[in-house]
Amino acid sequence: MFPLIIASLIPISCSQSSRNSDSFVISCGLSSNVGTDADGRKWRSDYRFLTSSTNTINSTAQSQDPSLPSQIPYMSARIFTSPTSYKFQVSPTNRLWLRLHFYPSEYSSLLPSQAYFSVSANDLTLLNNFSSFITAKALTQAYFIKEYSLVPIQSGELNITFTPSMQQNGYYAFINGIEIISMPEIFKPAILVPTDQFVDAGNLSMQTMFRLNVGGQYIAPTNDSGRLSRTWYDDTPYLFGAASGITFGADKNVSIQYPFDTPHYIAPLGVYSTARSMGQNASVNQNYNLTWVFHVDPNFTYIVRLHFCELLYTRINQRVFDIYVNNQTAQVTADVIAWAQSKGVPTYKDYATRVNDGPGDEELWVALHPSVSAKPEFYDAILNGLEVFKVSDNSGNLAGPNPIPSNELYENELANKFNPSKINPAPIIGGIAGGAVGVAFVVAVFFVFYRKKKQDYGNEVVANWLPTYGSSHFTNSKSVFSGKSTMGSSNLSYLRQGLCRHFSLQEIIVATKNFNNSQVIGVGGFGNVYKGVIDGGVTKVAIKRSNPSSEQGVMEFQTEIDMLSKLRHKHLVSLIGFCEENGEMILVYDHMANGTLREHLYRSNKPALPWKNRLEICIGAARGLHYLHTGAKFIIIHRDVKTTNILLDDKWVAKVSDFGLSKTGPNLHQTHVSTMVKGSFGYLDPEYFRRQQLTEKSDVYSFGVVLFEVLCARPALDPSLPKEQVSLADWALLCQRQGNLEGIIDPKLRGKINPQCLKKFSETAVKCLADHGAERPSMGDVLWNLEFALQLQENPGEGEHANAIAILDIEEGSTSSTTNELDDSSVVFSQIFEQKGR
């Protein structure tokens, strides 16, 4: 139902592509013969491949989304109003990659929402009733690429036909770019799980659904092996549950040798030299499955390709495991050394599985578990890479239905509960800043929606002001930390004696009036959240009751307590205690009387917050984040900083909520922070997409958006506004450049902000939004500058000298890249100002 697009942007070098008769790199609708993209690659015009020029025009997009990597091929398009074909002469013996590039936008006054069409390649249907507009919306990307692998075309003639849908008048078809690239045959028969039949993948055409470098990092198309220009993504977004094992890389002295039956073009070195395994603790490993979950279209057969390369052990029966595909045993006693003969030798296995169309069947599960019966030396499993391909069905079809864009996410984000009909989706595509092609991100988003749908959240959205970590990896694990693993080290009895309080079930029952529905203030995948009072009515609390469920749940519960109980700070929402009794898993948090920061800014009937309060709240939140980044044992990156995650207690003290946990696993390369792309639109660090690497500067970016939200009292994204204003970050930066920031500040604040204070505040916010993380200040610098802004508000006389220091400080911050260390001067100043300022 949700086709996942594996995108690749920089396939084979231009010289090769233009010379090789089998390779075509075509920019459709290009008005010149040849154009060059941002990577220096040459794209040819599509004219000489068109079989007919009636009912087709070339057109230029009327607007250029900032996230487009290059004007070519995206800004020009070929429009079709009746069925039209391209014809290419191809090698009759080679398998082909076919990549289709789409940028849904307004072309020649045709609306992007009117493009409904099918695409076929000879007899194979690639897309049907396809809306690139809906697809882009669901992916939250301005543009996207679909990748197919076609069996050799014996006639030597590839005919790609675009047919506008006939359902309604005015529907049209379009395409921006086409790549056709010869590839070696990389498929062979695969066992159909759970039968002993085979699927002869070698003579079937496929669509690439997922391609992951398990335990490793993003691999760009230019770094792929065999000039196949594939993109490999980090696997963390697909991991199921908190028990995600550990990642590691090949030791320097392990050299990876491709054997005869696994040529180097099967997968690059980067895939085989990193891996994920279950962890050190045999008893923990026996109690969980290392699991990846993918969302796929039903009614298709899929080829799941697993890449292995043992990096640590050398002998047979050291690491032996079972492989499950869709909960069926695909392989018992997998032993990589037995397959590959030696350490450092790559090998791969293909399994085919059928995904039917029934409730719960749109998922594809891949799970590993130690083979206890084989009595190996280590109860562990390993995986280095994973690919999923959709196989064309008997009728020569690869097309699935259009995805359903996540309304929940969308509405949640806009908080436009009061007038949903006003939401005009059209501008959002153009409006999302910095949304590059990030499949990982796409999936994270998708799961937010999908999980919600599946678990039937009903109409209620999780109470925004509560910490909602835990339960589902996809929706809730927001943060990562590097360093020692906490997995398996939770020890509730230790916590009981320590900071965390242990409640009896009876106490909880009294507090929640026996879990009476009238007390429910939030519903989530993890179960309900209740308000309650403890200590005889003295203390108000929020109580999260987990659904009594799997083993997985228990582990997450323990990890959550373990992590949270170590994070204590005035500006972080804190865990008061827990209850583990009778199979119940219950967490008790501070109650935040004044709700979220957002509801005090706009679209509510609450009185407007005075500027000084707003500043103090920003300072509090900055302190909380600064602590997460530098004060705890691990660097903790929040990943979802936004105004609904900043809560206010009854004294208006800001507390950051929803900071994270769940992600465990030491990394042998301690510098690597594994990324699970996660966050909210409008707040997302553009660099995070580009580099797929997470640093605390991503939080700084999001916090910059929060600062403007506080100043302007409008949402981070508001699609009802004219296009250039949709994204607050873009709009504020534009206004700042034009010297017109005053024009967009909250009308209720006009004339109430001291000009010097406003200058300091907006300079700070602008710095936070710097395109490159290294140019952004650290959270400590931000804190320092906000405190200084507060000073300027209260004592405007405090002149030029101090101001100069502040500017100097923020500029130093900007060059000091991603240091984790507390800037001493900022501590000192923040203390000075705290005493003076309040």
Ligand X SMILES: *[C@@H]1O[C@H](CO)[C@@H](O)[C@H](O)[C@H]1NC(C)=O
Contact residues: ligand X, CB under 6 A? 51, 85, 87, 120, 129, 131, 134, 159, 161, 200, 203, 220, 222-223, 251, 253, 281, 283-284, 287-289, 298-299, 324, 326-327, 357, 360, 363, 365, 367, 369, 401-402, 488, 491, 493-494, 513-514, 516, 518, 593-594, 606, 650
> What's the min distance (Å) between Cβ of 495 and ligand X?
9
Contact 806, 757 (CB under 8 A): no
Q: What is the DSSP string of 251-291?
A: -TT------TTS-GGGS-HHHHTEEEE--S-HHHHHT--EE
* Distances, alpha carbon 134 to alpha carbons 296, 402, 587, 678, 789, in Å: 17, 7, 39, 21, 44
On whether 484 is known to bind a ligand per the annotation, the reply is no
> What's the min distance (Å) between Cβ of 338 and ligand X?
20
Contact 192, 353 (CB under 8 A): yes
Angle, helices 779-794 vs 755-768, to 10°: value is 170
- Which residue, 339 or 365, has its beta carbon nearer to ligand X? 365
- Which residue, 369 or 697, has its beta carbon nearer to ligand X? 369
- What tokens appear for 765 in the block? 């916010």
Give the whole-angstrom CA distance, residue 623 versus residue 778: 12
Of 37, 562, 640, 823, the active-site residue reads 640
Residue 622's contacts (CB-CB under 8 Å, 6 or more residues apart) are 703, 779, 782, 783, 786
- Which residue, 332 or 808, has its beta carbon nearer to ligand X? 332
Give the whole-angstrom CA distance, residue 789 versus residue 766: 14
Distance between first and last Cα of the chain: 56
Partnered with residue 78 across adjacent β-strands are 58, 175
Give the whole-angstrom CA distance, residue 267 versus residue 254: 18
- What tokens appear for 789 in the block? 């802004």
> What's the min distance (Å) between Cβ of 82 and ligand X?
11
In the numeric block, the tokens 């994920």 are attached to 276
Contact 463, 521 (CB under 8 A): yes
CA 259 distance to own-chain centroid = 35
- Which residue, 140 or 161, has its beta carbon nearer to ligand X? 161
Contact 323, 306 (CB under 8 A): yes
- Which residue, 518 or 835, has its beta carbon nearer to ligand X? 518
Nearest CA among 374, 290, 288 for reference residue 337: 374
User: Does an H or E element contain 181, and which?
Assistant: strand 177-183
> What's the min distance (Å) between Cβ of 785 and ligand X?
28
> What's the min distance (Å) between Cβ of 487 and ligand X?
9
> What's the min distance (Å) between Cβ of 299 and ligand X?
4
- Has 357 been annotated as catalytic? no
- Which residue, 395 or 518, has its beta carbon nearer to ligand X? 518
In the numeric block, the tokens 């300022």 are attached to 837
User: Dihedral sign, CA of 46, 48, 54, 58?
Assistant: positive
Contact 135, 405 (CB under 8 A): no
- Which residue, 248 or 703, has its beta carbon nearer to ligand X? 248
- Residue set of the binding site for ATP: 544
Catalytic residues, which ones? Answer: 640
- Residue set of the binding site: 544
